[in-house]
């Protein structure tokens, strides 16, 4: 009888305490800050990302999307989206400049044009209305990308390093 009682209490504890988390994408929580070299990031990268390279970063295509957890307070105060990436010199030589646009769910964020090579940051305020749910889909688009070629058959956009969403 004691074993059945203990088993029942253990099951209730798992259901109650395990149920406090919102399982998304394979039964574990999403993060609001993802690094491209994290194994956790893979489940949040929806489209347009290639495999991790040099254990640190990923190439994107011309369009790419992620899902991020909405941090506490952002649904009422709004948030700040930050995308850290590299616009590499070969892309600058080929494309000269790229314009990056983003949408948080269906809310368009202001675009930004990049023409210098090296580390770049795209940072935009996201209105609270776009962060009403527990998860936000962020879709990025470049106006152009390096086309596939004989050496690399992928369409290459920028080198993604980190994407985060913070509450104001």
Whether residues 121 and 64 share a domain: the answer is yes
Please indicate, yes or no, whether residues 19 and 47 belong to a single structural domain of this protein. no
Give the tens place of pLDDT for each residue, 59-72. Answer: 999 999 999 999 99
What percent of the chain has pLDDT above 70? Answer: 83
Q: Among candidates 33, 40, 37, 83, which has minimal Cα distance to 57?
A: 37
- 88 with 5, same domain: the answer is no
Residue 114 and residue 57 share a domain: yes
Give the residues across from 141 on adjacent strands: 63, 101
33 token code pair: 């800050």
Beta strands in the chain (DSSP E): 33-35, 45-53, 57-69, 79-87, 98-104, 107-114, 118-126, 135-142, 159-167
* CATH number (domain holding residue 70): 2.60.120.260
More confident residue, 7 or 144: 144
- Considering the domain architecture, whether residues 5 and 77 belong to the same structural domain is answered as no
Least confident of 6-15, 29-38, 83-92: 6-15
Query: Residues 11, 37: one domain?
Result: no
Domain count, the chain: 2
Residue 66 and residue 11 in one domain: no
Give residue-wise pLDDT tens across range 43-98.
999 999 999 999 999 999 999 999 999 999 999 999 999 999 999 999 999 999 99
Region of poorest pLDDT, from 22-31, 115-124, 136-145? 22-31
Which residues constitute the domain of residue 14?
1-27
């Amino acid at each position: 009888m004691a074993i059945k009682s203990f088993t029942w209490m253990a099951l209730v504890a798992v259901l109650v305490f395990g149920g406090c988390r919102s399982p998304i994408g394979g039964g574990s929580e999403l993060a609001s800050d993802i690094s491209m070299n994290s194994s956790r990031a893979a489940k949040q990268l929806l489209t347009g990302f290639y495999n991790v390279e040099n254990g640190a970063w990923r190439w994107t295509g011309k369009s790419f999307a992620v899902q991020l957890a909405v941090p506490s307070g952002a649904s009422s105060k709004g948030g700040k989206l930050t995308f850290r990436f590299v616009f590499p010199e070969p892309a600058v030589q080929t494309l000269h400049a790229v314009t990056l646009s983003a949408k948080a769910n269906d809310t368009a964020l202001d675009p930004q044009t990049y023409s210098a090579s090296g580390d770049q940051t795209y940072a935009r305020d996201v209105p609270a209305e776009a962060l009403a749910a527990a998860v936000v889909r962020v879709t990025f688009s470049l106006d152009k990308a390096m086309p596939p070629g004989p050496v690399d058959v992928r369409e290459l956009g920028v080198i993604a390093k980190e994407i985060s969403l913070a509450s104001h």
